[in-house]
């Protein structure tokens, strides 16, 4: 990838010129160098052959009344006459994964459509992570169920938990990729292209370091922006802040002071009544005619004299002593409290004046003394920060410079390795395209430096200093175009197959569906396409709708889709073919409606070769 036309980013002199973008393309000459063979897979044969989509159940969708299809791992082909309903099965999968649908698809005479898909999540860590983020339970198995009513409203559940259409579509992107003439899935989204390249080149750890440095850098920029905004407020804010802090400190506020003063004021207002009540209590205890303490002394003497005559009364005399002491303490306390209640005109005036001062402060600070105290604390803190703003900015600039250098170095290293990996990826995919009959095709992962708002480089994102997009030219003389703009459905499907073959280990989506991948190709190329699909079935669950006998003969499992009319109603069915029935269907694909002895023999030979290819 590096070479003529490439751009090497130099370290920027000053960091404020760095911006973040995700756009831009750069032309590079593709490489057709010798392509090394890919290494062996790292997953066990058991995991490779494990199906992801294990069951599909459909009720009342178009010509399907009720259908349950059990699915397996490997390479499954779906065949049937035109109009039999193969596309309806694909539409059902699209629908249950969140694609919009119309009530017109509901079977005539019924009121709603229901599709259910069950997935084995053993080999889908990303799906398990997403479910955890969505707070949907599930570890081993995921059941998606979606209903569409005749009024156009749909409802979906994941493991019996309600899920929105947006979340369902997000989840579906990690469950199934459908490759057809009008499909847009992960490989057609330019936002994912760098992810595929980084995974292919083993650059994910380095990309993580870049993202970490970028996050640290942007965090520092945010801090610096805040400090500068504070400084930009100028002296006006400083004067306001100083005056506020000065006034609040002079007020000498204390938490809950206004409430305490209100309670004291209430006591002073009732001091006369309180004094009267306490005086009466004191007089009853020890100051009036026949006070309680005097009578209690008499009772004590009487019981003591009685106890001298009857020892059983001695415990009562022991009780009376403490009672006298308690009543005596009570009398002294009440008298002291009553003496303190004598009204003080000066204190009353002071309370009124203080409350008026506090009310004035509260009106400025949210009618709450606690807010005024919080404002004082915040104001003092801000004044202290302002005193050190200049030093903080200088220190922050130094720190930003260090982190920026780190970000630049990591991003530059990532960019260099991306260009090297891109050259290898280009060669792999071009080799696959040639094998699939697209000998003149040119493929390129086009990398270009990110640009800031002024069009200058370098610029940085969590993904590094590059933008990237898959480009393809299928015919000589045609310019390279973004993959998403490929017009031919057959070319797009074969390109997807080539890319999937190369990127199989890095693709988190384990179920791949190819719809009409054989469009516009010859028998020889069909044989190669079938072999590629079968190879892909060793690491993925592959389903392919096909009309080509060469592809059908290579399937590890064969599903026939057919339709029949009973009592004026059309019904679509799906059945797994074995043995003679499988031979018969391949023969039909070879010769059409009239199956001959020759076509049966050819079909049997093709199936035998297919089984040997799988061995």
Helices (H), 365-455: 369-387, 389-435
d(CA 559, CA 552): 10
Looking at the chain, the whole-number percentage of residues with pLDDT higher than 70 is 87
pLDDT (mean) for 140-147: 95
d(CA 256, CA 268): 19
Q: Which residues of 412-430 are buried (b: 16+ CB within 10 A; e: fewer)?
A: bebbebbbebbbbbbbbbb
Helices and strands in the chain: count of H runs, count of E runs:
19, 15
d(CA 570, CA 351): 93
pLDDT for the residue numbered 214: 96
Window from 189-203, 266-280, 392-406 with minimum mean pLDDT: 266-280
Looking at the chain, the whole-number percentage of residues with pLDDT higher than 90 is 40
Q: Mean pLDDT for the chain?
A: 83
In 3D space, the residue among 122, 127, 119 whose CA is nearest the CA of residue 57 turns out to be 119
- pLDDT tens, position by position, 490-515: 677 778 788 888 877 777 788 999 88
Question: Taking the C-alpha atoms of 15, 16, 17 and 18 in order, what is their torsion angle to the nearest 10 degrees?
Answer: 70
In 3D space, the residue among 128, 133, 199 whose CA is nearest the CA of residue 463 turns out to be 199
Inform me whether the pLDDT recorded for 273 exceeds 90.
no
Confidence of residue 47 (pLDDT cuts 50, 70, 90): low
Question: Could you give the domains of the chain?
Answer: 48-179+509-615 (3.40.50.300), 243-385 (no CATH)
Inform me whether the pLDDT recorded for 27 exceeds 70.
no
Range ranked top by mean pLDDT from 18-27, 66-75, 261-270: 66-75
d(CA 351, CA 544): 89
The first and second tokens of residue 139, run together, are 């570890």
Handedness of CA 179, 181, 184, 188 (dihedral sign): positive
**Global confidence as pTM:** 0.60
- From the CB of residue 575, how many other CB atoms can be counted at a distance below 10 Å? 12
pLDDT for the residue numbered 131: 94
pLDDT (mean) for 21-25: 28
- In three-state secondary structure terms, 289 is coil
d(CA 577, CA 69): 13
Window from 129-138, 167-176, 188-197, 338-347 with minimum mean pLDDT: 338-347
pLDDT for the residue numbered 30: 35
d(CA 17, CA 10): 13
Angular region, 477: left φ>0, alpha ψ -120 to 50, beta rest: left
- pLDDT tens, position by position, 311-326: 888 888 878 778 888 8
Window from 99-108, 150-159, 483-492 with minimum mean pLDDT: 483-492
The residue count of the chain comes to 615
- pLDDT tens, position by position, 540-595: 999 999 999 999 999 999 999 999 999 889 999 999 999 999 999 999 999 877 88
Residues with Cβ within 8 Å of 73's Cβ and at least 6 positions away in sequence, in order, are: 48, 49, 50, 51, 52, 537, 541
């Amino acid at each position: 990838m590096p070479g003529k036309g490439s751009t090497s980013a130099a370290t920027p002199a000053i960091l404020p010129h760095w911006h973040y973008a995700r756009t831009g393309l750069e032309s590079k000459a593709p490489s057709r160098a010798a392509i090394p063979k890919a290494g062996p897979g790292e997953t066990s044969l058991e995991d490779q052959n494990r199906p992801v989509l294990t069951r599909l159940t459909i009720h009342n969708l178009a010509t399907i009344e009720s259908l349950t299809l059990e699915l397996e791992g490997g390479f499954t082909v779906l065949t049937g006459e035109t109009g039999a309903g193969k596309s309806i099965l694909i539409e059902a999968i699209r629908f249950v994964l969140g694609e919009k649908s119309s009530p017109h698809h509901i079977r005539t005479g019924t009121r709603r459509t229901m599709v259910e898909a069950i997935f084995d999540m053993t080999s889908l860590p990303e799906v398990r992570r997403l479910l955890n983020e969505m707070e949907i339970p599930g570890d081993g198995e995921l059941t998606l169920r979606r209903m569409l009513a005749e009024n156009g409203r749909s409802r979906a559940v994941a493991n019996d938990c309600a899920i929105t259409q947006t979340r369902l579509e997000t989840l579906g992107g990690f469950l199934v990729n459908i490759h057809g003439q009008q499909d847009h899935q992960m490989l057609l989204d330019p936002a994912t292209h760098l992810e595929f390249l980084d995974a292919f080149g083993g650059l994910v750890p380095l990309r993580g370091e870049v993202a970490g440095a970028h996050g640290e850098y942007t965090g520092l920029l945010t801090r610096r922006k805040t400090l500068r905004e504070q400084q930009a407020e100028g002296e006006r804010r400083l004067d306001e802040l100083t005056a506020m802090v000065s006034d609040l400190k002079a007020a000498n506020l204390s938490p809950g002071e206004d409430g305490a003063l209100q309670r004291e004021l209430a006591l002073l207002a009732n001091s006369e009544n309180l004094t009267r009540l306490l005086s009466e209590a004191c007089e009853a205890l020890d100051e009036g005619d026949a006070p309680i303490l005097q009578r209690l002394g008499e009772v004590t003497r009487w019981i003591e004299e009685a106890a001298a005559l009857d020892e059983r009364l001695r415990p009562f005399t022991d009780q009376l002593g403490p009672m006298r002491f308690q009543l005596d303490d009570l009398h002294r306390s009440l008298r002291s409290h009553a003496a303190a209640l004598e009204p003080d005109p000066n204190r009353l005036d002071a309370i009124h004046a203080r409350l008026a001062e506090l009310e004035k402060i509260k009106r400025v600070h949210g009618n709450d003394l606690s807010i005024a105290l919080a404002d004082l604390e915040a104001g003092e803190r801000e004044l202290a920060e302002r005193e050190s703003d200049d030093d903080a900015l200088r220190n922050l600039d130094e720190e930003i410079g260090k982190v920026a250098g780190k970000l630049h170095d990591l991003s530059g290293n990532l960019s260099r390795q991306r260009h090297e990996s891109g050259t290898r990826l280009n060669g792999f995919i071009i080799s696959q395209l040639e094998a699939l009959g697209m000998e003149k095709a040119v493929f390129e992962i086009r990398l270009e430096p990110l640009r800031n708002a002024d069009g200058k480089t370098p610029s940085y994102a969590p993904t590094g200093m590059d933008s990237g997009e898959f480009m393809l030219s299928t015919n000589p003389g045609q310019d390279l175009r973004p993959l998403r703009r490929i017009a031919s459905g057959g070319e797009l499907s074969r390109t997807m197959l080539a890319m999937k073959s190369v990127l199989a280990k890095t693709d988190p989506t384990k179920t791949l569906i190819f719809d009409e991948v054989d469009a516009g190709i010859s028998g020889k190329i069909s044989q190669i396409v079938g072999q590629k699909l079968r190879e892909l079935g060793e690491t993925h669950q592959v389903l392919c709708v096909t009309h080509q006998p060469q592809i059908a003969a290579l399937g590890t499992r064969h599903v026939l889709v057919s339709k029949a009319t009973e009592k004026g109603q059309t019904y679509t069915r799906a059945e797994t073919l074995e043995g003679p029935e499988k031979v018969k269907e391949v023969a039909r694909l070879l010769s059409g409606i009239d199956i001959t002895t020759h076509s049966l023999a050819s079909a049997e030979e093709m199936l035998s070769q297919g089984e040997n290819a799988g061995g």
